[in-house]
Amino acid sequence: MSRLLSDRAEKTSHVVVLPAALDDPSKPVPGLYRIGLVAICFSILVFFAGLVLAYYVRSSHRPYWTPIQLPQALWVSTALIVGASVTFEVARNVFRRGMWRIASRLLVVTACLGAGFLASQLTAWRELMDQGVFLAQNPHSSFFYLFTGLHAAHLLGGLIALSVVLLAKSKRRELVDVVAYYWHFLALLWIALFLILRSR
Range(s) of the chain covered by CATH 1.20.120.80: 31-199
Q: What is the pLDDT of residue 11?
A: 47
Q: CA-to-CA distance for 117 and 81, rounded, in angstroms?
A: 6
The answer to whether 185 and 155 have CB atoms below 8 angstroms apart is no
What pLDDT is stored for residue 20 in this prediction?
47
Longest dimension (CA), the chain: 82
| pTM of the full structure | 0.82
Supply the pLDDT for residue 65. Answer: 80
* pLDDT on residue 111: 96
Do the beta carbons of residue 89 and residue 184 sit within 8 Å? yes
Domain 31-199 maps to which CATH number in 1.20.120.80, 3.90.1300.10, 1.25.40.10, 3.40.640.10?
1.20.120.80
Give me the pLDDT at residue 1, please. Answer: 43
Question: Can you give the pLDDT at residue 60?
Answer: 85
> Which residue ranges of the chain lie beneath pLDDT 70?
1-30, 200
DSSP-derived secondary structure for the chain: -PPEEETTEEEESS-----HHHH-TTSPPTTHHHHHHHHHHHHHHHHHHHHHHHHHHHHTS-TT--PPPPPTHHHHHHHHHHHHHHHHHHHHHHHHTT-HHHHHHHHHHHHHHHHHHHHHHHHHHHHHHHTT--TTS-HHHHHHHHHHHHHHHHHHHHHHHHHHHHH-SS--HHHHHHHHHHHHHHHHHHHHHHHHHHH-
Looking at residue 145, its pLDDT comes to: 94
pLDDT of residue 14: 55
Instruction: Say what the pLDDT of residue 27 is.
Output: 62
